[in-house]
Amino acid sequence: MNQKFIDELKSVLDESQILMNEPMNQHTSFRVGGPADLFLKPEADQIGKVIQMCQQFGMPYLILGNGSNLLVVDEGIRGVVIEIGSHLSQLSLNKNQITVGAGTLLSSCANYAASNGLSGMEFAARIPGSIGGAVTMNAGAYGGEMKDILKEVTVVTKQGKQRTINREELQMGYRNSDIQKYNYVVLEAILELEPKEETFIRQYMKELSLKRTSKQPLEYPSAGSTFKRPEGFFAGKLIMDTGLSGYRVGGAMVSEKHCGFVINYDHASAKDIRTLIQEVREAVYEKYQIWLEPEVKIIEQNLEI
């Protein structure tokens, strides 16, 4: 790691915000992944400067939210991880709009909305991610997506500049958006919701929670749905009909409860999980001529600049 780069970082960040060789298995929902060379925890007003420094020194970097959609390889990350975490978790209310920091958990935001009699976030109440990641990938469940409730988002560009973008400009589609395309970093979002009775909202949230608990393997580490839904099909059913329910590679397994989930069943390595994902893809293609596209983002040892 470039010592001059680290010295420059120390002119912006406190030493407590700079961690060396940080194990990534502590920061991903799969609970796997080797150490990152440098793990940074900047405040909102420091992120732009940190990104500018990374660009200046040619340092590859990864933006990390709640780590609920990532698979980091066992060798770790040769580069910089920039965490957008709980230090960016502010919430404020203006009539039917909530301004929310990128590090806020979806569950916290959904509960805040319910407490203020605002509906529209119920679908996200049990998604194990943060607002920043959810907006970036247009997360969704049970018929709802982030694009349905997003009004605008404030981001940091690759040049380290802040920019506010409205929903219509973001080209939000199924599990993607221009935020991914241009490698923007989400700082905060404004969500536009609908007034409803809190009791009604809570009841709907309870119904969705029970549905999720009954159908998903929440008792094991995973990254949620492993594959995107192929047009006209359901990934889980294709995998089940291929005969892969319970199929294992090392400590990784296709969930018997929901075949759309690859789980860390028994101290899996990242290699176990990655191999299983590929073998599932190949088996489904051999039977149905459909390539399943991973929804999980696989983070290689050497980050792209």
Cα–Cα dist 155/139, whole Å: 17
Residue of 83, 122, 145, 295 marked catalytic: 295
Alpha-helical runs (H) found in the chain: 3-10, 44-57, 106-115, 131-137, 178-181, 198-215, 235-241, 270-288
User: Catalytic residue at 168?
Assistant: no
The answer to whether 80 and 60 are in contact (CB under 8 A) is yes
Q: Strands 91-94 and 97-101, how do they pair?
A: antiparallel
Please state, in angstroms and rounded to a whole number, the distance separating the CA atoms of residues 157 and 223: 27
Catalytic residue among 175, 222, 269, 274: 175
CA–CA dist 226, 77 (Å, integer): 21
User: How far apart, in whole angstroms, are the C-alpha atoms of residue 105 and residue 116?
Assistant: 17
Catalytic residue flag (residue 225): yes
- Find the catalytic residue in 225, 255, 274, 281: 225
Check: CB of residue 53 under 8 Å from CB of residue 12: yes
Q: For residues 205 and 33, what is the distance between their CA atoms, to the nearest angstrom? A: 33
Q: List the alpha helices (DSSP H) in 116-247.
A: 131-137, 178-181, 198-215, 235-241
Q: How many CB atoms lie within 10 A of CB 102?
A: 29
Q: Are 276 and 247 in contact (CB under 8 A)?
A: yes
Q: Tell me how far apart the alpha carbons of residues 16 and 42 are, in angstroms, rounded to a whole number.
A: 10
78 an active-site residue?
no
φ, ψ of residue 83 in degrees (nearest 5): -85, 130
Q: Which residues have C-beta within 8 Å of that of residue 56, sequence separation ≥ 6?
A: none
Catalytic residues: 175, 225, 295
